[in-house]
Amino acid sequence: MAYFDLDDVLCDGSEVPCRFLHTVPGLGFLDGRPGGTVTAGTTLRLPLWLAQILAVVVAGGEGEEGEGEGEEGEDNTPFVEMQVPGALGPKVLAAVRADPVALDVHAVQPHFYALALRWCALYADQDLARQVAGLLLQRAQEINGFAVAGGAQGGNTDSSNGASITASSPFLATLDEWEKGVYRDAQRARRDASRWGR
């Protein structure tokens, strides 16, 4: 993931439901109440970049007169608890298990794989990683098939926008942004291989 990769930046902006574990004054603007207080137990949708920070940083620290460390649970409790985003929730994972090729990944989350990768890295979720890897394997075979068939029919292989990709097939309209890049790379590879073979 590159620092200036726009898809990476857009993934960081994906909203994740978070439950505040502490009352935090001055953050009411996150809830549409500028200057207000976010109370403990409040659930808000926060951008992934902010949610990751608040889920890792602990709210404790030393309290008045050095007594903060002795309070039970205060020092090691982060500001928020990230909840599973809908894009990685049970309904989507059931659809992944049922028919990975039929799943409209773009409708679920335009940056599905990037979000899943971040979630797996943050929580070491091996089960999710296995399911996403299986999804990718089955969809990659389908993507490659379309790339080879589209290239053989003289399809537009150099377009960088999604319009030419989605015009050829309903399946191609279901690709997330990363899969679209895989499709373009597969088309280029097929074209280059056919030129080399001449």
All domains in the chain, ordered by first residue: 6-82 (1.20.58.2050), 86-196 (1.20.58.2050)
The model's pLDDT over 56-72, given as tens digits with 9 standing for 90+, comes to 888 765 444 444 444 55
In this predicted model, which residue has the larger pLDDT, 150 or 155?
Answer: 150
What's the average model confidence in pLDDT over 134-149? 89
CB-based burial label for 32 (10 Å; 0-12, 13-18, 19+): exposed
Q: In angstroms, what CA-CA distances link 33 with 23, 64, 82, 144?
A: 14, 29, 21, 49
What is the spatial distance between Cα 148 and Cα 3, in angstroms, rounded to a whole number? 32
What pLDDT score does 1 carry? 56
What is the residue whose two structure tokens read 């603007």?
A: 29
Q: What is the mean pLDDT of the chain?
A: 81
What pLDDT score does 45 carry? 93
What is the spatial distance between Cα 173 and Cα 164, in angstroms, rounded to a whole number? 10
Q: Is the pLDDT of residue 151 over 60?
A: no
CB-based burial label for 192 (10 Å; 0-12, 13-18, 19+): exposed
CB-based burial label for 172 (10 Å; 0-12, 13-18, 19+): buried
Query: How would residue 112 be classed by pLDDT, with cut points 50, 70 and 90?
Result: very high
What pTM did the predictor assign? 0.75
Q: Is the pLDDT of residue 182 over 50?
A: yes
What pLDDT score does 74 carry? 53
Cβ atoms of residues 110 and 9 within 8 Å: no
In percent, how much of the chain has pLDDT > 70? 80
The DSSP code sequence of 121-162 is HHHT-HHHHHHHHHHHHHHHHHHHHHHHHHHHTT---S--SS
In this predicted model, which residue has the larger pLDDT, 117 or 72?
Answer: 117
What pLDDT score does 168 carry? 62
Least confident of 14-18, 27-31, 86-90, 120-124: 27-31
